[in-house]
Each structure stands twice: as structure tokens, then as C-alpha cells.
Structure 1
Amino acid sequence: MFSNRMINILIPVLSVILGLVAGAVIMLVFGYNPLDGFAALWKGAFGDSYFFGETIRQVTPYILSGLAVAFALRSGLLNIGVEGQVFVGWLASVWIGISFELPMVVHLPLAITAAAFAGAAWGFIPGLLKAKLGVHEVIVTIMMNYIALYVSNAVIRSLLTDGADRTESIAATASLKSEWLAEMTFYSRIHYGFIIAIAMAVVMWFILNRTTKGFELRAVGFNQHASNYAGMNVGRNIITAMVISGAFAGLAGAMEGLGTFGSMSIKSGFTNIGFDGIAVALLGANTAVGVVLAAFLFGILKIGALNMPTEAGVPTELVEIIIALIIFFVASSYMIRWVLLRFKKEGK
């Protein structure tokens, strides 16, 4: 009745449906109308061109952070440090954006490349420790998130400003913003970064599915011992996977620094772009297309939730509960798989 490929597609779809249904039940329990709540959420994401622009703006870094997590997972690694890599990418892009006066054709690519290199360098460290010393990447990347946060704050205060809490705005030649896109969406913060995010999804798909290196990375992810026996350099592939994953995360930071905000300010905590990327990757089944679709869902939920208190009186915390439930059902996908396999057997 169901092929294995169909089951892999149905699991995240059913997870989303179950999460939304559970969210509706919670709304009913607390005395809210779920139809009004979801209608307000949809209107908040697509009600007019401004909300649509903001939704696309929110989706952009989610795609890249989701790709970062998914690429590492496909290689058998859990990169919890995407949040820190976002920080250093953001910082590097803004640093280049405010430090040079160059033509846009040089300045913008240079700032974007700097962000990718910064994220890659931040990913190289846990990759090297994992490959050479066997240090678990989860521990190292978690700790490096805090290092990235406080180092970024120190650089902003000590090097990029004279003790200020925010850098100056980047030069127009390093900006991803577009005047005509802003006018089309009633001056939302949408920018050209969405094109870069989609292009990077294509890059991830190409690397993993159409290159020899991608085959090696996936093989290492499936079984390191068998890969080593087959003559593959497991350590080198671990480092490569973390470097590429970090580059994707660094680009997510560039989307914020060069697009959404055009500057960087002191942070008292994490942005959650990297942590949300974990959920995006899981929901997207660690595939490029799945990550893009999952990022759209999360962007819709995040932006649409802002409209729920005013339109339907539903607190935004309920949307966070819905997102958590979706992640729960994705994490419990073995139960959904078991049910689908039962149907498959009965259908024969």
C-alpha cells in the first residue's frame, strides 16, 4: 500500500498534521476557537504583502540554518553549534560591510564570503577535535555557542565601536536590501538573501547526491567503520562535513547582518536561528527540498503567531507549543512508521 519512499514523505506530513490537531485541542481546552486562531495565523503570514515579505524574510535564515544541521546529520554528525556559527558569520559580514568602500560587485560578495569562511572556521574546530581526538561534537559545539556569543559582544564593543551596543550600519554596497522589493511589500524587511538560501539548498543537494565527496560523506554518516574499511579517510570527511555545515550557518548570519538588520548589536542571549534550524532539519528529513519546505512552515508559524493575540486573542505561546508538538511527533516518527508499516502489510 505504501512504498518506503512514500512512508518517508508521509512521516513529516503526518507529524505536522498531528501537531496542528493537538494544538487545536489545546486551544479548545483553554477556551480559544482554533478556527479563529489558525485563520489569524494564516492572515498574519499572508494577509497582505507586508506580512508576506516578513514571512519570506523569516524563512531565509531558517533555510540556511536547517541546511547546516541537515548536512552534518547526513554525514553522521550532530552540529549543535549552528547558533554560534550564525553569530560569527553575522559578525564577519557586518565587519566587512562597515570597514571597506568598494563597488557592490566586489563588496557584497566579499561580505557574504567572509561570513561563510567565519562559519566554516568555527565548524572546523569541533570537526578537528572529533576527527583527531574523538571529542564528541555535541559537547564542543554547545560550548562554542557561548564563546561565539561573548566574543562577538567583545568585538563589537572593543573593535567595531567605542563601547557602543550596536555597530554602525553597513555600506549600501554590502547590503542585500532592495528598494523595489521593499516598496512591493509595503516596506517589509524582505531582501535578496532568499535567492542565496534557495541556491544553497541546490548546492547541498548537488554535493550530497552528485559528487564523489558527497557519496563519501553519506557513507561515513551511515557507517564510519565500513567507510574506513573501504579506504575512505573518515577523519578528513568529518572535518569537511563540519566545515561545510559551518559555512551554511555563517551564511545564515550574513542574511541577518547584510539583509534584515544591516548591522549587529550586543546580544544578551541567543537568536535561536541555529536552534530552530535543528527542528527545521528534522522536519525536512535532512533533505534539501524538505528543509526548504520545513523552513517555510516555521516561518509561517513564527510570523503568523504575531497576529494571533490581536485577531483571535490567542497567546503566541500556544504557537510555540504547536511547534514543540510537531517536533515531538517528528522525533517519535518510529511510532508513525510502525502504523504506516502495519497498513502496508494489511494492504498486501
Structure 2
Amino acid sequence: MSATAVTEAPQQPQTPSRAKQVLREILESSTLVVIMAVVASLIIGAILIVIADEDVRTASAYFFSRPGDTLSAMWDAIWGAYTAMFQGAIYNTRADTFAAAIKPFTQTLTMATPLIFAGLGLGIGFRAGLFNIGAQGQIIIGATLGGWVGFAWDLPGFTHLLVAVIGCALGGAIWGFIPGFLKARTGAHEVIVTIMLNYVALNLLSYLLSLEAFQREGQNNPISPTVAENAQYPLLLGSQFPLHWGFVLAIACAFGVWWLMERSTLGFEFRAVGANPRAARTAGMSVAKGTILVMVIAGALAGLAGSAQVLGTEKNLTLDIAGSIGFDAITVALLGRSRPLGTVLAAILFGGLKASGPSLQVLAGLPVDIVFVIQATIVLFIAAPPLVRSIFRLPAPAHEKEVAA
């Protein structure tokens, strides 16, 4: 009987188990990259803490004879610094009362409020393909208009606060309309226009604060009168906490932005224009209208960030009314992946870092600049996801592998 060739059936590829698929999705997700970026930033912060600590430097002088002293001093420095930051931003374990213990967290939420507003606006722009750098100017103009309504107008009760908040949103919307209109009608690049408008807004505020109508009586410094009490955001938890109702409005805006971008036809148009303007135009969508509306909405939200400042925390206009909020909000939006929930969480993280600065300086005796370095390294790692994946040996997403192939 002659031998016959036996042809083996090709083996079917093994289907990975559901657990492995879930693990793979987690490892390839952008959310994990964000978390690892924060972790990497905290590690770099720990290195700087060790370098800046005097006890560590003293112990390192005799490291080879007693290495345990140096390692112990390093651990104590890192633990002490991050404990101080926790107590300054989340919960003060040294406080005598529960109210005093949770006050740091209310301060964190207060500082996060304008970042939520501005980050939401920038996130809408990013998803629509517009890189808006003008939140700083939009905050200034919004705060200027709303603050003027707050201290120059005399309106009854809650109406005064409502009109002042609308004034803030309107001021920011106007300042967002300008680059949106120029982008839609002339093709002017929104990055250049918004950066220029930031300086225009700051100098405009400087000029206004030199006028008698905007100057506080008896003051030569550039500071406005205090906003009327009925035009200020009421305190949310009583006079012993700084948190005001602007935070509630910010959370409401986050829900509104989620609905706009994920559930509304207008939000779908924004996302379509951002993904492929040519295809959106072919489908009958107006790219020009979408560009203008995105910048107006983003500006209005940035203007509300100004309301958190002038009607909530500062209660008057100064040249530093916007601080660095407009630029920090860019990082917040990127860290939150331009999604409302992510933006809120990222804003709280940055609010906590800001709130922890004084505690780090007083309790740990370390420079507050370490907080700024942590924030800056977060920006660096968020801007370079491949770097984060390389550091932590995370697999690249499938679509990146296909492009590389």
C-alpha cells in the first residue's frame, strides 16, 4: 500500500481569553498613559525633593560609611514632602476639628473651579481641530466685563449676580468670536491670533484700571472697587470655607459640555469638522459656522472662569486677575483628553498641586518651585506618550503599530 501524503489542516489562530483582551486594552489605553505620566512626574518631584533636602545632603557626606542614614533621610524627605502636600491639598491630619481638617480640600476645589471652566472650553476647541491659546485673554475680558457689572451697576438681589455672570460669559464669548471669525473668513491661524489677543486683553485691562471709573477710591494702585456683595458667588459651605457656588456652576457646565459633544447634532458637527473638515464640508456641514461657534462657546466658558475669579475669590479686578489659569487650562484639557470628566479630574489635580504649595514650604521647608516642576513635567509627558510608554514598557496601541508597519 503506497504512502499517501497527508495534508494537515492549517491551525486556527488561538483566540486570546477575555481576561487577556481586557488587560491588553488597559495597557494600550491613553488613560493609563495619563496616569503613568502623573506617576513619572511625582517620581521626578521625589528626586528634586531629595536633592533639595538639607538632611539628605548632610547624610550623603558619609554615605559609604553609613549608607542606611542616607537612605533613611531620603525616605523621610520624600514622605514628609508628599505628606505636607497631602495635608495642604486634601486633608489636614493636624487640625483640631473636622471642619479645619477638610478645609484644604475645599481650597483645592476652589482653585480647580476656573480651571474646569477654561479647560472645558479648550477641550471643545481641541476636539473640533482648533488649538485655542487665547483662554488667558478671554478670562481677562470676561472678568473685566463681569467685574464692571458687579461694582458699577446697582441691581436687586440675585439679579445682580446673574447679570454679572452673563457679563463674564459674554466678554469671553466676544473675545473668542474675533479669532473664530478671522479663522473662518480669512484663514488666519487661531494660535497666532489668540496669542496676540492675550496681550491686547492684558493691556486693555491695564488701561481701564488707570481710569477713574475702574479705580478704587483712595487707591493709586491698579485695583478696582470691590464687587457688590449681591453680585458675588455665595459661599457653598459657609464662611469658614472658601468654596463658592461657582464650583457647582462649573460641574453643571461639564455636564452641559458632555451633552453638547456626545449627544447633540451640533456637537457631532464640531467633532466631524475636527476630524476631517473636507469630509464635513462634503456632507453639507458649514465649517466656517462650526469654527466660529466653537470659539464663541470656548470663549464663553473661559469668561466663566473669569467669573470664578472676580465674583468668587478675588472680588475685584487687578492685572493679575487671570494669573496663569489660561495657560494651565491647556495642560488640564490635554491631561483630561478633552473629555469633561477627565478635565474635571485634571483640574482638581492641578488645583490640589496649587493648594499644596504653601504647606510644602511651611511644613517641609522645601521651595514651592517643586510644585511647578511637577506641573511642567506632567505637560512634558502628556505631550510625548511614546516616552511614557517607553519608560514603563507599555505596548503601543494597535493603530500605532499598523502605521509603523
| TM-score after normalising by structure 1 | 0.92
Q: Secondary structure at the match of 1:102?
A: coil
Q: Residue 169 of structure 1 corresponds to which residue in structure 2? A: 226
Which among 165, 174, 194 is matched to residue 247 of structure 2?
194
- The yes-or-no answer on 1:295 pairing with 2:352 is no
Instruction: State the identity %.
Output: 37
Query: Offset of 1:35 from its aligned partner?
Result: 1.3
| 1:258 to 1:166, Cα distance in 2 relative to 1, 3 A | same
Q: Secondary structure at the match of 1:181?
A: coil
Which among 95, 100, 105 is matched to residue 158 of structure 2?
105
Which among 333, 349, 369 is matched to residue 281 of structure 1?
333
Listed as ranges, the matches of 1:200-219 within 5 Å are: 200-219=253-272
Amino acid at match of 1:211: S
Aligned partners of 1:73 and 1:79 also within 8 Å: yes
Which among 319, 330, 341 is matched to residue 395 of structure 2?
341
Q: Residue 24 of structure 1 corresponds to which residue in structure 2? A: 46
Query: Offset of 1:109 from its aligned partner?
Result: 1.0
- The yes-or-no answer on 1:160 pairing with 2:214 is yes
- The yes-or-no answer on 1:15 pairing with 2:69 is no
Q: Secondary structure at the match of 2:318?
A: coil
Aligned partners of 1:72 and 1:242 also within 8 Å: yes
Amino acid at match of 1:38: Y
Amino acid at match of 2:328: D
Q: Give aligned pairs, total.
A: 340
Q: Residue 81 of structure 2 corresponds to which residue in structure 1? A: 37
Aligned partners of 1:2 and 1:340 also within 8 Å: no
Which among 293, 314, 327 is matched to residue 379 of structure 2?
327
Amino acid at match of 2:364: A
Aligned partners of 1:119 and 1:250 also within 8 Å: yes
| 1:274 to 1:342, Cα distance in 2 relative to 1, 3 A | closer
Amino acid at match of 1:36: G
| 1:79 to 1:343, Cα distance in 2 relative to 1, 3 A | closer
Higher relative contact order at CA 8 Å, sep ≥6: structure 1 or structure 2?
1
Q: Deviations over 1:274-324 (max 9, x none)?
A: 000001011111100000000010011111121112111111111111111
Q: Secondary structure at the match of 1:109?
A: helix
| Partner Cα separation in structure 2 for residue 121 and residue 5 of structure 1 | 43
Aligned partners of 2:357 and 2:371 also within 8 Å: yes
Q: Residue 147 of structure 2 corresponds to which residue in structure 1? A: 94
| 1:342 to 1:192, Cα distance in 2 relative to 1, 3 A | closer
| Partner Cα separation in structure 2 for residue 284 and residue 274 of structure 1 | 15
Aligned partners of 1:182 and 1:190 also within 8 Å: no
- The yes-or-no answer on 1:182 pairing with 2:239 is yes
Query: Offset of 1:229 from its aligned partner?
Result: 1.4
- The yes-or-no answer on 1:119 pairing with 2:169 is no
Query: Offset of 1:212 from its aligned partner?
Result: 0.4
Q: Residue 265 of structure 1 corresponds to which residue in structure 2? A: 318
| 1:262 to 1:313, Cα distance in 2 relative to 1, 3 A | same
Amino acid at match of 1:190: L
**How big is the alpha-carbon RMSD for the aligned residues of Structure 1 and Structure 2?**
2.1
Aligned partners of 1:207 and 1:213 also within 8 Å: yes
Q: Residue 229 of structure 1 corresponds to which residue in structure 2? A: 282
| Partner Cα separation in structure 2 for residue 135 and residue 218 of structure 1 | 21
| Partner Cα separation in structure 1 for residue 294 and residue 236 of structure 2 | 37
Q: Residue 240 of structure 1 corresponds to which residue in structure 2? A: 293
